[in-house]
Structure 1
Amino acid sequence: MASLNVGNLGEYLREQRRNAQLSLRQLADAAGVSNPYLSQIERGLRKPSAEVLQQVAKALRISAETLYVRAGILDAERDGQEHRKDGATRAAVLADPTLTEQQKQVLLQIYESFRKENGFVDGGDDDGAAGPQDQENEPGPQQTAG
């Protein structure tokens, strides 16, 4: 079987599950995935979707962004600091146990609409052309004389 390059993810998930003192079955139940599927993820045989990673992160009470990076969904180095901030914001919303899934999605939609309004394009594919560089030259409440 070809390597999916998710061994690092699987090892990390196993470590986090053990730190949380959860059995494989308990985590699978909490995340809403099958026990065999979770086992295959931990062994590096399956590459889970972002949705499954989000469910597992929520069950473990850890950052979904960390799992996205380990699974190769987010490339923290390539995407730069602004995308990491965006990812951290998204991860915080997604990991909040006090919000329903619908509330999380609405918050993320509002957040993304504000980013687009301010010239940031989702996905980090604009190479900053209409992003932070334009924003830094505009006077704003966060800038101080100095």
Structure 2
Amino acid sequence: MASLNVGSLGEYIREQRRNAQYSLRQLADAAGVSNPYLSQIERGLRKPSAEILQQIAKALRISAETLYVQAGILEERHGDAPGLRVAILADPLISERQKQALLAVYEAFLKENRESAEPAADKAAETGG
């Protein structure tokens, strides 16, 4: 587990709040946290719990995983296209269901490519090439 990167987390939350066109007070109300507490998070002065991050993510209509990755609580899944999943999950223009559908299609393509690459690698190993 990586260390909590509070400064960039706060900046990220502020950016997402502005993209969603929320005032600090509006987001605090929607997330169920106090206005001063949210301000401290955005300024990198407080380390929010995973539960608070989840509340903020829900209010921003982004995936909690996005904030967990940003906070360093979770590692980015897989080494392939690390920013793609975060970008999809952070996009405020598509619904949570649409985000999950996009990620499922992407994962299916990756799985298909891995499976088709394995027989070719096995054949190359057999022929010494």
| Alpha-carbon separation, structure 2, partners of 1:55 and 1:38 | 11
How do 1:1-146 and structure 2 match up within 5 A? 5-76=5-76, 80=78
- Residue 105 (structure 1) aligns with: none
> What's the RMSD between the two structures over aligned residues?
3.1
Q: Give the 3-state SS of the residue equivalent to 2:30 in structure 1.
A: helix
Identity of aligned residues (%): 76
* 2:12 maps to amino acid: Y
Q: 1:80 deviation in Å?
A: 3.6
Structure number with the bigger relative contact order (C-alpha 8 A, sep ≥ 6) is: 2
Q: 1:75 deviation in Å?
A: 1.4
Q: Which has the larger radius of gyration?
A: 2
Which segments of 5 or more consecutive residues in structure 2 lack a partner in the other structure? 90-94, 98-114, 121-129
TM-score (norm 1): 0.51
What is the aligned length? 89
Contact 2:63 2:96 in 1 (8 A): no
Which segments of 5 or more consecutive residues in structure 1 lack a partner in the other structure? 98-142
TM-score (norm 2): 0.57
Residues 3-37 of structure 1 deviation map (CA, whole Å, 9 limit, x = unaligned): x6311111110011011111100000000001111
Structure with higher helix content:
2
* 1:43 maps to amino acid: R
Q: 1:96 deviation in Å?
A: 5.4
Q: 1:72 deviation in Å?
A: 1.1
- Residue 100 (structure 1) aligns with: none
| Alpha-carbon separation, structure 1, partners of 2:67 and 2:75 | 11
